[in-house]
Amino acid sequence: MQPNLLTIDLEEWFVVEALADRFSLDDWHSLPSTLERNCMRLLLLLDRHDVHATFFIVGWSAERHPALMSRIEAAGHEIACHSFGHRMVNRMTADEFRLDTRRAINAIAEATGVRPFGYRAPSWSLSDRVPWAFEILAELGFEYDSSIFPIKHDLYGMPSGPRELYRMRFGESRYLYEMPASTIRRWGQNLPIGGGGYLRHSPYWYTKHMIRRVNRSGRPVMVYMHPWEIDPDPPPVSGLSLLQRFRTYGSTDTLEQKLDRLLTDFQFIPMIEYVRAATRQRIGFER
């Protein structure tokens, strides 16, 4: 069976882009946390299916919940990086990005005892508009990045980006693999599958069919989600538009059940296992 990739962006409910103009980093400590309760539900579900995932951890949360981070690592899950302050990379300078990422690495390593080798940008905010970011990740010792979403979206996306694992080379000996978010090609465009709101709002039969379709081509599907997406009773936020409310709260009462079925029907491995196997087998083209 073709293994797929299960990834979890470990972040609080209040860091989502729809709320970025309401709550600054300085406000976060005063807001109610739902991270631990939702993460524990995920850990129990993963343990029941004997599945190891990749946890892309926000450094701020690692500082606030070190015991939870240690528990994730002790359960055998991959520890990866999701920035420190969840700022979109395309809104930072190169120096700001380097400092934020170094701070995140240190916070995550302090909490878990593990130095992360995988990175995911907040809100899929890496693209060809910030080419310096990939080189900085390689410079900081990351083996892979998973931040490109090859779709057209009002908040993010790189429609012309590659749709499968590839390798970037910097200089003579520095490399960085990129594992983009999963899509299928239909009607002349890339359609997203298997993650976030696309996973929440799609009927399970559709997701299952699309994953099997991709797997038949010999490629894995990368499933991604956030702990707040399985919370049926999230903290209320007033004043959101209908679109923002749909994106943030829609179908959160169904995702845990869908994930349970996915873990039953498919095999999953952490991202680092796939990337290192690709390195050994020389899978993935270079650009």
**Which domains are seen in the chain, by residue range?**
4-286 (3.20.20.370)
**Other CB atoms closer than 10 Å to residue 116's CB: what's the count?**
27
pLDDT in tens, 132-179: 999 999 999 999 999 998 767 656 656 767 778 989 988 777 889 999
Q: What is the DSSP string of 116-171?
A: --EE--GGG--STT-HHHHHHHHHTT-SEE-----S--SS---TTS-SS-EEEEET
Report pLDDT for 262.
96
Q: What is the DSSP letter of 230?
A: G
Report pLDDT for 275.
93
Tokens of 119: 């990175």
What's the whole-model pTM score? 0.93
CA neighbor of 236 nearest in space, from 7, 8, 22: 22
Distance CA 224, CA 238 (A): 27
The helix-helix angle for 35-49 and 66-74 (nearest 10°) equals 10
Do the bridges between strand 285-286 and strand 166-170 make them parallel or antiparallel, or are there none, so unpaired?
Answer: parallel
Question: What Cα–Cα distance (Å) separates residue 161 from each residue in 79, 126, 190?
Answer: 26, 11, 10
Burial class (CB in 10 A: 0-12, 13-18, 19+), 45: middle
Q: What percent of the chain has pLDDT over 70?
A: 94
**Other CB atoms closer than 10 Å to residue 98's CB: what's the count?**
17
| Burial annotation 225-245 (CB, 10 A radius, 16+ → b, else e) | bbbbbbbeebeebeebeeeee
Contact indicator for 142, 174 with CB cutoff of 8 Å: no
CA neighbor of 11 nearest in space, from 60, 71, 46: 60
What residues of the chain score a pLDDT lower than 50?
none
pLDDT in tens, 207-239: 999 999 999 988 999 999 999 999 988 888 877
Distance CA 118, CA 81 (A): 6
**Rg of the chain, C-alpha, whole Å:** 18
Tokens of 102: 């170094």
First vs last Cα of the chain: how many Å apart? 29
CA neighbor of 145 nearest in space, from 170, 169, 176: 176
Report pLDDT for 246.
73
Contact indicator for 230, 190 with CB cutoff of 8 Å: no
